[in-house]
Structure 1
Amino acid sequence: MSIVHIFLPVSLVIFLAIFSSAHHDHEKSTPSQMYHACQATRFPELCETSLTQLSHLPPNTTSLQIIQSTISVSDHNLKTGQSMVKSVLDTSKGNLNRTNIATICLDILSYSSYRIKSAHYALTHGNIKDARAWMSAALGYQQNCWGALKYVNDTKLVVDTMLFLDSLVHHSSNALSMMVAYDNYGEDTTVWTPPKTERDGFYEKGSGGKLELRFNGGFPSNLKVDVTVCKNHRKCYKTVQEAVDAAPKNKKGRDQYVIKIRKGVYEETVRVPFEKKNVVFLGEGMGKTIITGALNVHQPGMNTYNSATVGVLGDGFMASGLTIRNTAGSDAHQAVAFRSDSDHSVIENCEFLGNQDTLYAQSLRQFYKNCRIQGNVDFIFGNSASVFQDCEILVGPRQTNPESSENNAVTAHGRTDPAQSTGLVFHNCVINGTEEYMRYYKKNPEVHKNYLGRPWKEYSRTIFINCKLEKIISPDGWMPWSGDVGLKTVFYGEFRNSGPGSDVSKRVPWSTQIPSQNVPTYSVQNFIQGDQWIPKSH
């Protein structure tokens, strides 16, 4: 499937023309079609006001046109938000933290703009699942910018910008809610409802009723190598970043750019930028080809996002046969090894080593197969739609004193809106401790408690299916984040797990045992549409 390019849809041009000449007509009644569509959103009054004032949709407007207009409202407001953040940046000279955060905000708002336009295009061409995935990411980026500015809201301009971004998030949420209703209920807006989750008893319909979830696909074989990175030969790149920089921009379809990385330790920070699509890292094996760094939030001006040893933005990224690590240590707190915002990314036979926040699966659709992921605090986190198949998830030691108590969460999913099609799904994985950690655990298991996850955000969604949960997993299974935040809205699901940590008799009441008929919802095919873009195994 090809990745769409940035462009301005004709309907958006028309919309902006309408917007510029719109006048208020308070006597005009709201078309019933639009009214019902807005009732399916989380912020219906904002929805009605924006659509009534901006476009005067006629009574015979289709539901699809209403959604497109709502997307356009989001896109228009995003431009204003970008301008406000640019003003924050321009007035932050000499303030390192605010400068860094405003810079990141501008970057991720540009990604949001791209995904909004892509969602508009996909919706127009009948690709509703793509539209939902891309709008989910667009909304997530806006929310992330707002959340980042919260840490530097020491000027009126920042406060005003945050207030505007909050309204922008609501507009984008409304557009996404309509997409979900359209996908689930069809064109008749009178039967649309606001977004529901599994906690409401709502499971999206999945194709196929089989409980065999293992997906027969992954990293492709027989790839043609384009360039090589090595440590001790003249005819190769000496750093991974140099090889990435040489990759062409905006490659079409699934035409990969394969970078062979010979065995060795590469001490560098690697960034695969947004315009470098279909980049492939092909190593010579876990523990042999190693990319390593030690960036962490305790360093001046550093934040979680930028601490990644390897950060990927370009869609279609693939990797195999690598170790990616962050060696900052457990005392450094947030220190990411791998961060991905790559839609349609495939990671197989890779190892990710760190402590807190090891793997940042930030957004979009990702597939991890036969990987090893090690950390301790929230070490698989983000707001992506990711499936982990046949992976080894290992808790590593956080401190050297086996008598000291500690609570570790394997996951911290960051879904902020019930309409986002995101979540972390684990199929046939093993959750255990490293050999070193188990030595501490065995000496004093009462003070070492480990949980499958905790709600980083209000609508966190994490699922474990057919996994082996070893004894390190607490009988509670899941832990709160702060008080009762999110406990009424998160979805933490389990199905037919095994091992001593799988006993559900003492699970927290806000977790769920998934009904067998709903398990196919979380297949690779249904949850991330992987059958359309993950290479098939031969």
Structure 2
Amino acid sequence: MAGKVLAPAISLVLVVGVVIGVVAVVQSPKPVTNSAGNLKTTNKAVTALCQDSDDPKLCHNVLSSANSSDPKDYIVTVVKTSMDSVIKAFNMSDKLTVEHGNSSEGMKMALDDCKDLLQAAMHDLEASGVLVKESNIEDVHDRTAELKNWLGAVVAYQQSCLDGFNTDGEKKVQEQLQSGSLDNVGKLTGLALDVVSGISKVLQSLDLNLALKPASRRLLDVDQDGYPTWLSAADRKLMGQDGVMPHATVAKDGSGQFQTITDAINSYPKNHQGRFIIYVKAGIYDEYILVDKKKVNLLIYGDGPTKTIITGRKNFAEGTKTMRTATFSTVADDFMAKSIAFENTAGAAGHQAVALRVQGDRSVFFDCAMRGYQDTLYAHAHRHFYRNCEISGTIDFIFGYATTLIQNSKILVRKPESNQQNIVVADGTQQKNMPTGIVIQNCEITADPTLFPDRLTVKTYLARPWKPFSRAVFIENVIGDLIQPEGFIPWNPATEPNTQDCYFAEFGNSGPGSVANARAPFSKGLISKDEAAKFTAEPWLQASTWLPATGIPFDAGFTKA
């Protein structure tokens, strides 16, 4: 991020391939026409929406101001209220930067990152507002997954802002920012998630019945080769990368147009339409890279994860904030990477040291490697898909606030420091209605060669709950004998266990580490096939609306069951 404030974004990026279903609205035979009736209708709607809210008083206070019989107005109201809180938080972070930004380098990094994150939050709230205002209630109901995706990202940014103040000298400023504005951002965005999640209830309370046709969202039509029928010939070739001319070629030896990946990314033309393709030839690229929000629909591919390697070693132990330790960061929507390795070589002694940070929506990684130790893969926000990848690390090495699905990949657990234990997943779901979590499906979870001789003595766990509603689901994996029988541990047993509302579940796994009869009591243990189906690609990522357009293979449902 490097303190760069993103320019305010005003465009709404629509999901490629979304087909809105036809919805019939059946009105009550007794329409409300007088003011008393309108008040009664409003009260019924507010009651329906607030009954499951964590803070019913706040919910009533915010929604009562809508004073409307149109259910859509309640979403507009709560999104606007959340936006107002984010703007207030941004202004406060700006003020605190003036007052404290020069007190230390760590403080400046944390405050600058907050401004970047809150700017991203404004973008997602603006997109939410545009969707609601320009749609009727039927379409809003049909696209609740999209709204929850954006709103969940806002909570991710709010929490990430707080995460940045992690030394004793920074706590006072963190408390000022938190009590003055960030707490409200979390509460109000959580309320927005509650309202969007409860829209069916309010429609029922108003005697509005949504009669949806059987398929409100359909899979994209594909041809005999498995590609979407509307995909261009050039893009079909691109999926195989045979004879496709990239827009930019990077080579260490000077045989390409650029010698650094950063320069190639910076060659992305203003207002570029379609996919922008960068080919990175074999080599080790020692550089720190950020794909900013304006460079949408970017594809970077290499010669394979053992040949094309992007490397760095920034780490928390040497004074860099976790978010900034990333060797490679992408905040652009529709980013794709193929056949490349991202690594952070700080080692276990570096503590938090991110190899890859992914923030943009509909991001895809295929045949890639993410190599590190603690905090290797930061799945920061929005929806991500990883296929045929290799992800290695020690502590919380797959973590974040995103809606993440990892399929057909190898999860390699490395040897930590002598006083450390290994945890594969640390998810940051903060609110009960965030559509977020980390799902690992049809992967192999095993010890890498550095850990293998000591895999039975070094304790390794599948997950721990980073935030109160942390969610980690393991489906159809082969799990090695390195995993402890209890499988899961609290975040901080003494002060912040986060075990009451977390969701850790397993289905269809095999291997010696999959035996679930001694799992931690706060986990769900083995779940049913119907329950596990909620976490497969189609319902979890709304896969049919965007993954086919990438050309990357994926399993929409189960692979073995």
TM-score bracket, shorter-length normalisation:
0.7 to 0.9
- Structure 1 match to 2:54: 42
- 1:532 is displaced (CA, Å) by 1.0
Equivalent position amino acid for 1:363 in 2: A
CA separation of 1:245 and 1:507: change in aligned 2, threshold 3 A: same
CA separation of 1:249 and 1:104: change in aligned 2, threshold 3 A: farther
- Structure 2 match to 1:297: 316
CA separation of 1:297 and 1:249: change in aligned 2, threshold 3 A: farther
CA separation of 1:344 and 1:7: change in aligned 2, threshold 3 A: closer
1:505 aligns to what SS in structure 2? coil
- Structure 1 match to 2:98: 90
Name the CA distance, whole Å, in 2 between partners of 1:158 and 1:455: 22
2:190 aligns to what SS in structure 1? helix
Q: Please, what TM-score do these two structures have when normalized by structure 1? A: 0.84
CA separation of 1:324 and 1:359: change in aligned 2, threshold 3 A: same
- Structure 2 match to 1:242: 263
Counting only pairs closer than 5 Å after superposition, residues 46-85 of structure 1 correspond to structure 2 as: 46-52=58-64, 55-58=65-68, 61-85=69-93
Identify which of 220, 228, 241 aligns with 2:249. Answer: 228
Q: Spell out, residue by residue over 1:357-414, the C-alpha distance to the aligned partner (whole angstroms, 9 max, x if none).
A: 0000011000000000000111000010011010000001124xxxx56421001011
For structure 2, list consecutive stretches of 5 or more residues without a partner in the other structure.
1-7, 13-38, 209-214, 219-225, 229-237, 554-561
2:198 aligns to what SS in structure 1? helix
Counting only pairs closer than 5 Å after superposition, residues 115-134 of structure 1 correspond to structure 2 as: 115-124=124-133, 125=135, 126=139, 127-134=143-150
- Structure 1 match to 2:502: 490
Given the alignment of the two structures, is residue 180 of structure 1 paired with residue 197 of structure 2, yes or no? yes
Equivalent position amino acid for 2:198 in 1: A
- Structure 1 match to 2:429: 415
Name the CA distance, whole Å, in 1 between partners of 2:169 and 2:45: 40
Counting only pairs closer than 5 Å after superposition, residues 65-214 of structure 1 correspond to structure 2 as: 65-95=73-103, 96-124=105-133, 125=135, 126=139, 127-149=143-165, 151=167, 159-163=175-179, 164-182=181-199, 185=201, 187-189=203-205
CA separation of 1:168 and 1:328: change in aligned 2, threshold 3 A: same
- Structure 1 match to 2:15: none
Identify which of 297, 303, 307 aligns with 2:325. Answer: 307
Question: Is the Cα contact below 8 Å between 2:162 and 2:174 reproduced in 1?
Answer: no
Identify which of 516, 533, 539 aligns with 1:526. Answer: 539
- 1:40 is displaced (CA, Å) by 3.4
Identify which of 472, 478, 481 aligns with 1:468. Answer: 478
Question: Is the Cα contact below 8 Å between 1:409 and 1:450 reproduced in 2?
Answer: yes
Question: Is the Cα contact below 8 Å between 1:120 and 1:131 reproduced in 2?
Answer: no
Question: Is the Cα contact below 8 Å between 1:36 and 1:190 reproduced in 2?
Answer: no
- Structure 1 match to 2:3: none
Q: Spell out, residue by residue over 1:341-371, the C-alpha distance to the aligned partner (whole angstroms, 9 max, x if none).
A: 0100110000111000000001100000000
Name the CA distance, whole Å, in 1 between partners of 2:283 and 2:467: 38
Question: Is the Cα contact below 8 Å between 1:371 and 1:390 reproduced in 2?
Answer: yes
- 1:233 is displaced (CA, Å) by 2.4
1:48 aligns to what SS in structure 2? helix
Q: Please, what TM-score do these two structures have when normalized by structure 2? A: 0.81
Equivalent position amino acid for 2:122 in 1: S
Name the CA distance, whole Å, in 2 between partners of 1:189 and 1:114: 32
Question: Is the Cα contact below 8 Å between 2:366 and 2:552 reproduced in 1?
Answer: no
- 1:276 is displaced (CA, Å) by 1.2
Equivalent position amino acid for 2:485 in 1: P
Equivalent position amino acid for 2:83 in 1: D
Name the CA distance, whole Å, in 1 between partners of 2:375 and 2:144: 32
- 1:436 is displaced (CA, Å) by 2.2
- 1:225 is displaced (CA, Å) by 1.1
- 1:270 is displaced (CA, Å) by 0.8
Identify which of 332, 344, 354 aligns with 1:336. Answer: 354
Equivalent position amino acid for 1:395 in 2: V
Question: Is the Cα contact below 8 Å between 1:149 and 1:162 reproduced in 2?
Answer: no
Q: Spell out, residue by residue over 1:275-330, the C-alpha distance to the aligned partner (whole angstroms, 9 max, x if none).
A: 11111110000110000000001223x11000000011011110011111000011
- 1:486 is displaced (CA, Å) by 1.6
Name the CA distance, whole Å, in 1 between partners of 2:66 and 2:379: 40
- Structure 2 match to 1:457: 467
Name the CA distance, whole Å, in 2 between partners of 1:146 and 1:275: 25
Identify which of 279, 282, 293 aligns with 2:301. Answer: 282
Question: Is the Cα contact below 8 Å between 2:318 and 2:350 reproduced in 1?
Answer: no
- 1:339 is displaced (CA, Å) by 0.4
- Structure 2 match to 1:23: none
Question: Is the Cα contact below 8 Å between 1:449 and 1:474 reproduced in 2?
Answer: yes
Name the CA distance, whole Å, in 2 between partners of 1:32 and 1:384: 34
For structure 1, list consecutive stretches of 5 or more residues without a partner in the other structure.
9-27, 193-204, 209-215
CA separation of 1:154 and 1:346: change in aligned 2, threshold 3 A: closer
Q: Spell out, residue by residue over 1:27-65, the C-alpha distance to the aligned partner (whole angstroms, 9 max, x if none).
A: x9973322332333222211222344xx4514xx22221
Identify which of 381, 385, 388 aligns with 1:363. Answer: 381
Equivalent position amino acid for 1:308 in 2: A
Name the CA distance, whole Å, in 2 between partners of 1:256 and 1:419: 33
Name the CA distance, whole Å, in 1 between partners of 2:421 and 2:294: 40
2:433 aligns to what SS in structure 1? coil
Q: Spell out, residue by residue over 1:214-249, the C-alpha distance to the aligned partner (whole angstroms, 9 max, x if none).
A: xx8899334541100001125421111111111134
2:426 aligns to what SS in structure 1? strand
Equivalent residue pairs, number: 481
Q: Spell out, residue by residue over 1:175-234, the C-alpha distance to the aligned partner (whole angstroms, 9 max, x if none).
A: 11111122x646235899xxxxxxxxxxxx9999xxxxxxx8899334541100001125
- Structure 2 match to 1:324: 342
Name the CA distance, whole Å, in 1 between partners of 2:148 and 2:531: 20
Question: Is the Cα contact below 8 Å between 1:411 and 1:454 reproduced in 2?
Answer: yes
CA separation of 1:338 and 1:174: change in aligned 2, threshold 3 A: same
CA separation of 1:155 and 1:322: change in aligned 2, threshold 3 A: closer
Equivalent position amino acid for 1:436 in 2: T
Name the CA distance, whole Å, in 1 between partners of 2:163 and 2:414: 29
Given the alignment of the two structures, is residue 427 of structure 1 paired with residue 441 of structure 2, yes or no? yes
- 1:162 is displaced (CA, Å) by 1.4
Equivalent position amino acid for 1:130 in 2: E
CA separation of 1:248 and 1:39: change in aligned 2, threshold 3 A: farther
RMSD of the alignment, in Å?
Answer: 2.7
Question: Is the Cα contact below 8 Å between 1:5 and 1:118 reproduced in 2?
Answer: no
Equivalent position amino acid for 2:411 in 1: I
- 1:536 is displaced (CA, Å) by 4.1
